[in-house]
């Protein structure tokens, strides 16, 4: 079991890969949360008797006992509890009120609060202690994302025998922005506890290495940092992806095919469906996208009788002020646009503030003619890759922000600058009027990329390199067959 230090592979992430659900008869149980990361890591976890350490969600009441480690779906899960105050200060505060906006080009103003930083350090220490207790001698520990940047160093202090990897799922900002952070040096040193620090893009890795040189003063050469004790840390790009085959299979299923037709039917069989799917987040550029579209309806380029924009905005971080404000702004924009431009049975924008099962997402991807993904800044953006995976007959256009990490791989999309409303309008019109042959040419090329670089390749690529970090006397970890 996990608690006695026998796991050869340990994943440390903010959340456990399961959600607490209550059955109709009132019995609580765990349900695996959907997501590429879990399915990519599951086979490796099985082979290694792996453990996953994370917050189970919710707040632990004072005096409440800690949840014990448990096995679910063949994975050993180790819950790390957070108190209500820690949820506020560590999760909503430092993670989502300081780091998230700072790392996304300061699209919103980051707040620097000393008590949030104290909570961040405390919770990172707790995660590191759990990982130290669970990992076998010489194990690989893979720490994920911006909430846990101090864990690599804290863990190395407790367990110098481990091989530690870190992957950042969001952009790593340039020195000019990162340097605003009052605790910049501590965060860099935290990350330097890892043997490999992974980013989506080479630019993120370069920003990191440059900052380490400037702010910590370590020697660097290309992607390598050399610490005073001779240990080396590598910073490199590992662009994440999706389980493309799985998405395509889902998209081809008779249920999803029927549902996609039903969606178009419910929309009144329009000639053209545009689609946006995002977590409701200010980085995703939902507002300028809908504004650009509204202008195209207002000037008569598109007619609500035969064209509709479906925008799914999945509820997210609803207790953080900045998110509430943005939700109100988008609600108002959609209300105004539909009030001014819609007709009975034909809204300009069909706006859904809700989350859906994966099957419904696949049906939406199938039902769309043009997918519009316009983040101001996005580490990667998986939604556009999912859309591409679902377009198995090589049709469907993609309009994509050049500031999404995915734009580096999906260069055949209609690339746009989300700050340039006129440019975005022009790209949407071009995509809408493109010859089918042109749409197919672009989609084919993007499908090849998404098929060949899937999430399994991402996870295996990272873990193979971490496995190769082998100071003398450490044993090698087995890889799963096939
Ligand atoms: C972060 C980085 C990076 C959304 N609504 C529903 C739903 N989703 C799924 C999508 C997609 C995922 O959530 C969103 O992933 P993204 O990559 O688009 O964006 P973030 O959530 O911001 O993710 C990002 C990613 O980490 C991975 O490293 O790409 O840049 O910001 O898979 O399908 N899924 C279901 N119902 C919904 O309503 N089932």
Rounded average pLDDT per 10-residue block, the chain, 482 residues: 75 90 83 73 79 91 84 88 96 97 97 98 98 96 97 98 97 98 98 98 98 97 96 97 94 98 97 97 97 98 98 91 92 97 96 94 98 98 97 98 98 98 98 98 98 93 93 52 48
Q: Residue 185: exposed, middle, or buried by beta-carbon count in 10 A (0-12, 13-18, 19+)?
A: middle
Q: How many CB atoms lie within 10 A of CB 480?
A: 12
CA of 381 to the centre of ligand 1 (A): 7
Q: Which two tokens stand for residue 415?
A: 């690339």
User: What does the alpha-carbon distance between residue 256 and residue 269 come to, in Å, rounded to a whole number?
Assistant: 17
51-55 and 18-22: which strand pairing? unpaired
Residue 74, ligand 1, Cβ within 6 A: no
**Index of the ligand 1 atom closest to the CA of residue 354:** 38
75-79 and 70-72: which strand pairing? antiparallel
CA of 104 to the centre of ligand 1 (A): 16
CA of 241 to the centre of ligand 1 (A): 11
CA of 18 to the centre of ligand 1 (A): 16
**Index of the ligand 1 atom closest to the CA of residue 383:** 18
Q: Write the secondary structure of 104-121 as one string of H (helix), E (strand) and C (coil).
A: CCCCCCCCCCHHHHHHHH
Q: Residue 175: exposed, middle, or buried by beta-carbon count in 10 A (0-12, 13-18, 19+)?
A: middle
Nearest residue (CA) to ligand 1, atom 15 = 382
Nearest residue (CA) to ligand 1, atom 23 = 381
**Index of the ligand 1 atom closest to the CA of residue 240:** 28
**Index of the ligand 1 atom closest to the CA of residue 34:** 39
| pLDDT of res. 169 | 95
Residue 184, ligand 1, Cβ within 6 A: no
Nearest residue (CA) to ligand 1, atom 34 = 358
Residue 39, ligand 1, Cβ within 6 A: no
Residue 357, ligand 1, Cβ within 6 A: yes
Question: pTM to 2 decimals?
Answer: 0.95
Nearest residue (CA) to ligand 1, atom 21 = 279
CA of 244 to the centre of ligand 1 (A): 14
Residue 263, ligand 1, Cβ within 6 A: no
Residue 390, ligand 1, Cβ within 6 A: no
Could you give the C-alpha distances from 38 to 84, 241, 243, 459, in angstroms and in order?
27, 12, 10, 10
DSSP state of 60: B
| pLDDT of res. 20 | 78
User: What does the alpha-carbon distance between residue 371 and residue 127 come to, in Å, rounded to a whole number?
Assistant: 39
Q: Which two tokens stand for residue 220?
A: 């660097």
Would you give the end-to-end CA distance of the chain in angstroms? Answer: 26
| pLDDT of res. 362 | 97
Mutate to test the pocket of ligand 1, among 381, 407, 462 (most ligand atoms within 8 A of CB): 381
CA of 351 to the centre of ligand 1 (A): 18
| pLDDT of res. 1 | 42
Residue 170, ligand 1, Cβ within 6 A: yes
User: What does the alpha-carbon distance between residue 222 and residue 227 come to, in Å, rounded to a whole number?
Assistant: 14
User: What does the alpha-carbon distance between residue 41 and residue 94 come to, in Å, rounded to a whole number?
Assistant: 28
The 3-state DSSP class for residue 368 equals coil
Q: How many CB atoms lie within 10 A of CB 410?
A: 24
Residue 353, ligand 1, Cβ within 6 A: no
**Index of the ligand 1 atom closest to the CA of residue 379:** 30
436-452 and 383-390 are packed helices; what angle lies between their axes, rounded to 10 degrees? 110
| pLDDT of res. 482 | 45
Side-chain half-sphere exposure of 322, counting CA atoms within 13 A: 16
**Index of the ligand 1 atom closest to the CA of residue 355:** 38
């Amino acid at each position: 079991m996990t608690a006695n230090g026998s796991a050869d592979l340990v994943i440390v992430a903010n959340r456990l890969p399961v959600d607490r659900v209550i059955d109709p008869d009132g019995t609580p149980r765990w349900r695996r949360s959907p997501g590429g990361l879990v399915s990519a890591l599951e086979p490796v976890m099985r082979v290694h008797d792996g453990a996953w350490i994370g917050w189970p969600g919710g707040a632990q009441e004072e005096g409440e006992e800690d949840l014990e480690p448990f096995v679910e779906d063949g994975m050993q899960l180790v819950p790390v509890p957070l108190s209500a105050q820690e949820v506020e200060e560590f999760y909503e505060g430092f993670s989502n009120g300081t780091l998230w906006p700072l790392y996304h080009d300061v699209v919103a103003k980051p707040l620097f609060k000393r008590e949030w930083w104290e909570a961040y350090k405390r919770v990172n220490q707790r995660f590191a202690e759990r990982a130290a207790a669970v990992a076998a001698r010489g194990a690989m520990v893979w720490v994920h994302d911006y909430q846990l940047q101090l864990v690599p160093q804290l863990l190395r202090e407790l367990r110098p025998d481990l091989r530690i990897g870190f992957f950042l799922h969001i952009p790593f900002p340039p020195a000019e922005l990162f340097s605003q952070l009052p605790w910049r040096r501590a965060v860099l040193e935290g990350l330097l506890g890892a043997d490999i620090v992974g980013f989506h893009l080479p630019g993120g890795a370069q920003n990191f290495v440059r900052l380490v040189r400037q702010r910590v003063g370590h020697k660097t050469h290309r992607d390598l940092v050399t610490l005073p004790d001779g240990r080396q840390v590598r910073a490199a790009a590992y662009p994440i992806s999706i389980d493309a085959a799985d998405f395509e299979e889902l998209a081809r299923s008779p249920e999803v095919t029927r549902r996609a037709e039903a969606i178009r039917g419910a929309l009144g069989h329009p000639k053209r469906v545009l689609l946006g799917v995002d977590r409701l987040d200010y980085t995703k550029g939902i507002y300028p996208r809908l504004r650009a579209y509204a202008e195209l309806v207002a000037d008569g380029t598109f007619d609500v009788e035969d064209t509709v924009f479906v925008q799914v905005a999945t509820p997210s971080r609803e207790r953080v002020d900045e998110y509430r404000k943005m939700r109100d702004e988008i609600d108002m924009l959609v209300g105004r646009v539909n009030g001014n431009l819609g007709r009975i049975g034909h809204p300009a924008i069909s706006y859904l503030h809700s989350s859906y099962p994966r099957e419904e997402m696949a049906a939406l991807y199938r039902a769309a003619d043009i997918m519009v993904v316009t983040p101001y800044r996005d580490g990667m953006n998986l939604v556009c890759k999912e859309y591409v995976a679902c377009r198995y007959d090589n049709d469907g256009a993609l309009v994509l922000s050049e500031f999404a990490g995915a734009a580096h791989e999906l260069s055949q999309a209609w690339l746009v600058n989300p700050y340039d409303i006129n440019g975005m309008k022009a790209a949407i019109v071009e995509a809408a009027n493109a010859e089918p042959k042109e749409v197919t040419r672009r989609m084919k090329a993007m499908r090849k990329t998404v098929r060949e670089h899937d999430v399994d390749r991402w996870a295996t690529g990272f873990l193979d390199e971490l496995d190769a970090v082998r100071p003398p006397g450490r044993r090698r970890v087995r890889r799963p067959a096939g």
